[in-house]
Amino acid sequence: MGITRVDLNVSLDGYMTTTDQTPEDPFGADWERLTAAYTATRTFQLRLGHEGGTTGLDDAHIKAESHGIGAEILGAGMFGFHAHPEDSDWQGWWGPNPPFGVPVFVLTHRERESLAMEGGTTYHFLSASPQETLARAQEAAGELDVRIGGGARVVKNFLRAGLVDRLHVAIVPILLGRGESIWQDLRGFEEGREMRSEVAESGVVHVVFEPRSS
Amino acid sequence: MGITRVDLNVSLDGYMTTTDQTPEDPFGADWERLTAAYTATRTFQLRLGHEGGTTGLDDAHIKAESHGIGAEILGAGMFGFHAHPEDSDWQGWWGPNPPFGVPVFVLTHRERESLAMEGGTTYHFLSASPQETLARAQEAAGELDVRIGGGARVVKNFLRAGLVDRLHVAIVPILLGRGESIWQDLRGFEEGREMRSEVAESGVVHVVFEPRSS
């Protein structure tokens, strides 16, 4: 069986969500600053069908994020349910060929049939505890890892339930002062884990906690 | 005139104080973990009269902390008033030859005469706003910088009053989960400042925000 992994962009003061969204600017200026180094990478630009992009440490970390993943877990918001409450045929805002390429377990109270997309992504919809959801995802992932893709509250639930083995935070050197903090109630998370940290050319500090290799 | 500087050891989740002190262990195990890389340096060990110690990035940052300082500001707790409330002759727990070597402004409601120690340290006692205190310290520092030495609440007051020019945080990769957080209400602190970050051999991440050199 693989491990359970989380990758996040967080501000230096620990916020993984931003608060300055408006109808005119649905992501907001803070989100752009929080993800600027991430979206500037070659790997991300390729996903958009663009050429170019950075090829340093930020890019290496993004590449590693999708490597070895056999199933993904997403909250309802990440699938777009909240933005499209009336559309009973909504297929997610990741398009007909989503970037996952693996079974994706979407946490929602809606009852929906599983949805097979192009490129290997199949969405499964369920309402279950983090433990039950993870068991389903692990079964689908086989020998590979499970990634908790977000959003913030889903990640927090899995972290606080002690279900995350490997945590990668890309700490962006800006102070947001408000939002959803990743760091609440994680006292002692480092115990039994190896830590390494590296500074990317962008100034982003990548910190990884992972199970000690025995 | 110089600038105003702060240097801090903080946990990855932003705590600069620890909460596990006991009468038998007045610093506590968390404090030892939070300051382990700091106290392991050659510069710190020399202050204790010991030989040896690390000579890498952690040591370079400690050396820089005292370089160019013309005056220091401390809270009453850092002077030891709270621990020795009955001793009207208390001269601080930094000994007869304190490590400052400059005028030190101690924030307290007690009225005390200034106290000249060996080695250039003179303690001045005052009860004043951060602005007034800083003005006194700047006058004493002349062309040199003023350092806000702590404790945590004093540092927060000066940060929130917008009086800190250069902030150096040594981020220790442990999660404390509780204590006094440095990061509250500092949204936008990075604006107008240059940031640089480096990872020390110990795993500590040194992040420095300083005024943009024009």
Planar angle of CA B178, A4, A162, nearest 5 degrees = 35
Of A183, A185, A188, the CB nearest to B14: A183
CA distance A111 to chain B (A): 37
Residues in chain A closer than 8 A to B190 (CB atoms): 173-175
Nearest residue on chain A to B189, judged by CA atoms? A175
Q: How many CB atoms lie within 10 A of CB B165?
A: 17
Q: Is the CB of A175 less than 8 angstroms away from the CB of B187?
A: yes
Residues in chain A closer than 8 A to B15 (CB atoms): none
Model confidence, pTM:
0.92
Look at residue A65 in the predicted model and tell me its pLDDT. Answer: 93
Look at residue B94 in the predicted model and tell me its pLDDT. Answer: 87
The domain A4-84+92-211 belongs to what CATH superfamily? Dihydrofolate Reductase, subunit A (3.40.430.10)
Residues of chain A with pLDDT under 70: 214
CA distance A97 to chain B (A): 37
Surface-to-core class of residue B22, CB atoms within 10 Å of its CB (0-12 exposed, 13-18 middle, 19+ buried)? exposed
H-helix or E-strand spanning residue A156: helix A152-160
Q: Is the CB of B183 less than 8 angstroms away from the CB of A13?
A: yes
Peptide bond preceding B151 in cis form (omega within 30 of 0): yes
Q: Is the CB of B12 less than 8 angstroms away from the CB of A175?
A: no
Look at residue A23 in the predicted model and tell me its pLDDT. Answer: 85
Instruction: Mark which residues 80-99 of B lie under 8 Å from A by CB.
Output: none
Angstrom distances, CA of residue B145 to CA of A191, B124, B164, B208: 39, 17, 11, 16
Q: Is the CB of A175 less than 8 angstroms away from the CB of B198?
A: no
| A71-129 pLDDT per residue, tens | 999 999 999 888 877 888 889 888 899 989 999 999 999 999 999 999 999 999 999 99
> B126 near B107, Cβ under 8 Å?
yes
Q: What's the CA gap between A182 and B139, in Å, rounded?
A: 42
Nearest residue on chain B to A185, judged by CA atoms? B177
CA distance A19 to chain B (A): 12
In this structure, whether the domain defined by B4-84+93-211 belongs to CATH 1.10.3720.10 is answered with no
Q: Which residues pair with A210 in a beta bridge?
A: A194
Would you call A160 an interface residue with chain B, using a CB distance cutoff of 8 Å? no
Q: Is the CB of B173 less than 8 angstroms away from the CB of A195?
A: yes
Structure tokens, B158: 């000066």
Q: Is the CB of A177 less than 8 angstroms away from the CB of B185?
A: yes
ipTM attached to this prediction: 0.89
Q: In chain B, helix, strand, coil percent, each to 5?
A: 25, 25, 50
Secondary structure (DSSP) of B45-89: HHHTT----B-SHHHHHHHHHHTTEEEEEEEHHHHTTTT-TT-TT
Look at residue B139 in the predicted model and tell me its pLDDT. Answer: 98
Look at residue A214 in the predicted model and tell me its pLDDT. Answer: 61
| B158-184 pLDDT per residue, tens | 999 999 999 999 999 999 999 999 998
Q: Is the CB of B175 less than 8 angstroms away from the CB of A190?
A: yes
Residues of chain B with pLDDT under 70: 214
Look at residue B54 in the predicted model and tell me its pLDDT. Answer: 97
> B139 near B126, Cβ under 8 Å?
no
**Residue among A15, A1, A6, A2 at smallest CA distance from A164:** A6
**Residue among B158, B47, B75, B34 at smallest CA distance from B83:** B75
Q: Is the CB of B205 less than 8 angstroms away from the CB of A187?
A: no
Query: Phi first, then psi: what are they for A79, rounded to 5°?
Result: -85, -20
Look at residue B214 in the predicted model and tell me its pLDDT. Answer: 60
Q: What's the CA gap between B127 and B110, in Å, rounded?
A: 8
H-helix or E-strand spanning residue A44: helix A42-47
